[in-house]
Structure 1
Amino acid sequence: MDAQAYGGNNDRRQSEIQHDLPRLLDRAARSAGLDRARWQIQRKGDEQLAVRPLDGAEPRLVDDYVRHLAAELREYNAQRVPEARMRLRLVIHQGLVELADNGFAGSAVVATARLLNAPALYDALAAHPGADLVLLLSDDVFRSVVEGGHTSLRTEDFTRVTVQVKEYRAVAWLLVPGTSSGERTTAFHEPGAAERGKPTAPAPGEPAADRSGPAAAGGAGAAGGAAISNEYRADKINVTNVAGPVDARGAVFGFGGGGG
């Protein structure tokens, strides 16, 4: 990951970015249930190269971590003037990595560095000035994690791009979280759906195939053929107090003031 336009900032702002960036990354990881203390991290001012073990949490990294990082950046930038915003390019790739005396070695490391400098990432930031984060997945990661159906993301959320940087040429998949591109819909349409753990495990306790969607308004119900009514029935309302993230797809919410 790398921060946009770091070199154009003065010394004080550069120092602030180096202070704030790792804290944003740590908070996003904790929110996604990931432990960055287990990652090998190479720090370079406004840039980090992190190597983590293949432990079955790759869907959570691609889905939840990216979503929480976008949220952290959104909150961070909301308190700053436009010139002081932090905008990140993020790349996720997989492969064998050797811990060397002066950092990391291996073709996967080189590929990650080339993907991070892909013109498509810079173009996406320019085309979406309101975006705080742009993501590029290598073809391997995209096909095994997203196309494999292990996240809440859809293949149509991504744009296929060809990356040509120096001697490196490969297909990759671009996502701008929270925005639409052409006919593509907003990403993360089902927040929290990727709490699956290992890639082969189903979502705990609520397989998608077992969920029944609501009948169309005015249509027949699943049992007895009763139509859906829009009539307000206060005696039918259940109140539940919750704390923390909630998967509430298909739920109906009402909001009231503290005065009753």
Structure 2
Amino acid sequence: MLEWSGFCHCACIAVDAQAYGSKNDRSQSEIQHDLPRLLDRAARGAGLDRARWQIQRKGDEQLAVRPLDGTEPRLVDDYVRHLVAELRRYNAQRVPEARMRLRAVVHQGLVELAENGFAGSAVVATARLLGARQLYDALAAHPDADLVLLLSDDVFRSTVAGGHTTLSTDDFTHVTVQVKEYEAVAWLSVPALGVPAGTSREPGTAEAGRFVAPASGMPAADRLGPAAAAVTEGGTGISNEYRAESINVTNVAGSVDARGAVFGFGSAGG
């Protein structure tokens, strides 16, 4: 386990199991037994070593901190994606009442290893983000989702908006979190569904919950290419323009889990 002295700039990763208090003793014991193993497997799948993280355990909740080392995009992208996959496999073997559903938060800031845990405003902010009403609302609004994710504004801009992940800014919704004395901008997503968790309007930073790209001043979803523009300007709703650069070809061998996917079939000649 990696240790440091004084305050160190760290990534803070927190998860909490939904509706833990309403479960019986055996179900609570099972969650406490299985949650660390799911997190460990997700980290290994993402090429991250949780054995080097400082971890604070609290029943159905975990807060992990680790010094920033340049792998933060992998934490936001690969680790979350593998955790979603681990939860999907885990919950597929259980009745709906026994599912494990997680709220997850990633933040960053100065953290000190103190005598009784972690010290620093970044740790407090992470705890406040984990208690955000928007996370609870997102789980309620998307009953099929096993995990909802909230990124602090700093993390979102330095990883997703910075173009350092495979994620799109359109996958996130801009929200304002208010918990106790804490108030801050954050970015909400339901990773398994690949859609924003909701919409909001905050002047100057987002339109209808979407990130505004600094270079163009327009939401990514509103920047139309030539073919898309032809649809809008022509008024027919159909464009026959062929654009080879817009075609993605995926070759698949073996079985594929495509639940929730939408496929389209066609030929290069139209």
Structure-2-length-normalised TM-score:
0.70
User: Partners in 2 of 1:44 and 1:161 — Cα distance?
Assistant: 27
User: Partners in 2 of 1:32 and 1:221 — Cα distance?
Assistant: 33
Asked whether 1:16 is paired with 2:30, we answer yes
Q: Secondary structure at the match of 1:93?
A: strand
User: Partners in 2 of 1:254 and 1:28 — Cα distance?
Assistant: 24
Aligned residue number for residue 60 of structure 2: 46
Aligned residue number for residue 76 of structure 1: 90
Count how many residue pairs are aligned between Structure 1 and Structure 2: 199
Aligned residue number for residue 160 of structure 1: 174
Letter in 2 for 1:10: N
User: Partners in 2 of 1:115 and 1:152 — Cα distance?
Assistant: 24
User: Partners in 2 of 1:82 and 1:39 — Cα distance?
Assistant: 32
User: Partners in 2 of 1:183 and 1:86 — Cα distance?
Assistant: 22
Aligned residue number for residue 250 of structure 2: 251
Q: Per-residue displacement from partner, 1:177-229 (whole Å, max 9, x unpaired)?
A: 12234899xxxxxxxxxxxxxxxxxxxxxxxxxxxxxxxx996989xxxxxxx
* Equivalent position to 1:112, from 119, 126, 138: 126
Structure 1: runs of 5+ lacking an equivalent: 185-216, 223-248
Asked whether 1:5 is paired with 2:4, we answer no
Aligned residue number for residue 197 of structure 1: none
Letter in 1 for 2:123: V
Identity within the alignment, %: 78
Residues 1:161 and 1:79: Cα distance change in structure 2 (over 3 Å): same
Q: Secondary structure at the match of 2:252?
A: coil
Letter in 1 for 2:56: Q
User: Partners in 1 of 2:89 and 2:254 — Cα distance?
Assistant: 24
User: Partners in 1 of 2:31 and 2:99 — Cα distance?
Assistant: 10
User: Partners in 1 of 2:173 and 2:243 — Cα distance?
Assistant: 39
* Equivalent position to 2:76, from 35, 46, 62: 62
User: Partners in 2 of 1:221 and 1:122 — Cα distance?
Assistant: 42
Residues 1:218 and 1:29: Cα distance change in structure 2 (over 3 Å): same
Structure 2: runs of 5+ lacking an equivalent: 1-14, 200-239, 256-270
Q: Secondary structure at the match of 1:149?
A: coil
Structure-1-length-normalised TM-score:
0.72
